[in-house]
A = this chain, B = another copy of it.
Amino acid sequence: MIPNNNSRKMFLEIVKQLRQLIQDENIAVGGKLPSERELAERLQVGRSTVREALRSLELLGIIETRRGEGTFLSDFRKHQLVELLSTFILQDAKSKKDVHTTMQALEQDAIRTICMTQLLHKQSIWDAFIDKLQEEVLQEDIIREIIIISNNRLALKIWFLLKQFAGEPYRGIMNVEEKKAWKLLLNNLKVGNEPQAISYYNEWKLLMNRGEN
């Protein structure tokens, strides 16, 4: 039952047992875990060892601790992990460039998919879209909408992840020139003209990059 305490990493064992405990006691998201002191006694280890395991799980976003209250099972979707990893991973420029390139690949593919899908050429959708360009629009919002419309949820998911890694290169608001490019892009999207749509997409990216520098 209890693994030898020597030559093995106890805190990793505790992580394992905590997972088991969460499962056995059927602790739901938001539910409370036993206190550190109680866990230490139940698992027959020191409190500091329990804490090392808990802190690891906290950094992973699996649990959440509130001082004076306790430790709670948290929603797995907390994005802490991605943010943390990004600070470690994206140190060399090459990685950053890869992220941008890959995002661009997904974006272009969404445009191509839409162009090739006859069902998506209904005017009504796109006219409403073009109208929106009158208002203040974030660069990020519109390209995300395009990917959503392309109906590839996996690509959307990956794109989201990459966006977090990328340090939000799309945070800006679109200026007049960018909106002009997008209007032309959308008009070609509407009729399924792939080459022109891609062409205007590339033009938009150029405008965006120029704006940043």
The interface of chain A, by Cβ under 8 A from chain B, is: 11-12, 15-16, 19, 23, 48, 51-53, 55-60, 62, 76-77, 81-82, 84-85, 87-89, 91-92, 94-95, 98-99, 101-102, 104-106, 108-109, 113, 152-155, 157-158, 161
Contacts and interface: CB of A to CB of B under 8 A. Distances in A.
Nearest to A97: B152
Contacts of A101: 109, 113, 152, 154-155
> What number of copies of this chain does the assembly contain?
2
Nearest to A7: B67
Nearest to A101: B152
A77 B56 contact: no
Contacts of A77: 89, 91, 95
Contacts of A157: 88-89, 92, 94
Contacts of A91: 23, 76-77
A77 B89 CA distance: 7
Nearest to A198: B112
B56 A59 contact: yes
A11 B85 contact: no
Given A52-B55, A55-B55, A106-B105, A84 B155 contact: no
Contacts of A154: 89, 94-95, 98-99, 101-102
Given A52-B52, A88-B76, A89-B77, A98 B155 contact: yes
A155 B99 CA distance: 8
27 contacts: A16-B87, A19-B87, A23-B91, A48-B51, A52-B52, A56-B58, A57-B59, A59-B60, A76-B88, A76-B91, A77-B89, A81-B85, A82-B88, A84-B85, A92-B157, A94-B154, A94-B157, A98-B152, A98-B154, A98-B155, A101-B154, A102-B109, A105-B108, A105-B109, A108-B109, A109-B109, A158-B158
Contacts of A57: 59
A158 B89 contact: yes
Contacts of A88: 19, 62, 76, 82, 157, 161
A55 B51 CA distance: 10
